[in-house]
A and B are shown apart, each in its own frame.
Chain A
Amino acid sequence: MPFLTRLFLRTSLVYFILALVAGVLAAIGPVEVLGGRIPAMRPVYFHLLMVGWVTQLIIGVALWMFPKFSREKPRGSDALTWATYGLINAGLILRVIGEPMQAADGAPVWGWLLVASAVLQLLGGWAFVANVWGRVKER
């Protein structure tokens, strides 16, 4: 199993656990953290699960199992794969921080954190599509 696949799969497992923690917090209700009420755990829970766990698990397995891009570059562009990993995870982490904080105190900085999160995840998603597209081919 290539290094980048292991990285995606292990990261996805960490998010799987974090998602379930967020699920517990969402079930409990608004949580007292950092001296304020931190609501909005439900979207955090769902996106940790679907982006952090499911999507990254799929990406890791696809990088490993899909047909080779070419003899010289069997897994396509490593740079795009690293970009996918960095962008999606940076974006997701910003969301996990920004969404509850914005709901808690509404300061503009948290809103802009969500904008940054959106842009990073968007670029990460399309980077994966661009990288893997050429590997989805008939033999």
Chain B
Amino acid sequence: MPRLSVWMVRTSLLYLGTGFTIGALMLANKGVPFAPRLWSLLPVHAEMLLIGWTVQLAMGVAFWILPRFRGERPREGLAWAAFALLNTGIWAVAAGRLAGLSAGVIAGRVAELAAVGAFAAHAWPRIKPPGVD
């Protein structure tokens, strides 16, 4: 597994654990209320599990297993940029939601969009028929 995939997959695993922890706190609080403000973490829970876990894991695995060109993954810098932008976006969205700052949420979504664009630009040529180098 290449280094970037290790970073993406391990980061996604941390989001899985953190997202499950937040979800468990909210669910327990729903069953037996002990901290009503926990409910405000719902957008953070969703952001971490949908983008941080699921999307990032898919990107990490795709970077690993998509076909290569003579053993190389071209334009690898774009994929690293995607990793940085995606995680910056996740934290900006989460912080924006918690603070009630729509500017933070918008900035985070823009960073996530840029991440997906960079990753698509990296992955596009690797989606190719066998034998094309």
Contacts and interface: CB of A to CB of B under 8 A. Distances in A.
A32 interface: no
Which of A58, A66, A95 lies at the interface centre, i.e. has the most chain B CB atoms within 10 A of its CB?
A58
Interface stretch (A3-11, A22-30, A74-82, A122-130): A122-130
Contact of B16 (A110, A129, A139): A129
Contacts of A121: 20, 23-24, 27
A133 B20 contact: no
28 contacts: A50-B49, A54-B54, A55-B16, A95-B27, A98-B31, A110-B31, A112-B31, A114-B27, A114-B32, A115-B28, A117-B31, A118-B25, A118-B27, A119-B24, A121-B20, A122-B20, A122-B23, A125-B16, A125-B20, A126-B17, A128-B16, A129-B17, A136-B5, A136-B6, A137-B6, A138-B1, A138-B2, A138-B6
Given A55-B16, A102-B30, A121-B24, 10 more contacts: A58-B57, A66-B1, A112-B32, A114-B28, A114-B32, A119-B24, A122-B21, A129-B14, A129-B16, A136-B5
Closest 5 CB pairs of A and B: A114-B31, A125-B20, A111-B31, A122-B24, A118-B24
Nearest to B13: A129
Interface of B: 1-3, 5-6, 9-10, 13-14, 16-17, 20-21, 23-25, 27-28, 30-32, 49-50, 54, 57
A118 B1 contact: no
A31 interface: no
**Contact-size category for A:** 20 to 34
Contacts, number: 75
A67 B1 contact: yes
A117 B9 CA distance: 26
A93 B6 CA distance: 32
Nearest to A95: B27
B34 to A, nearest CB: 10
A104 interface: no
Contacts of B28: 114-115, 118-119
Contact of A133 (B1, B13, B49): B13
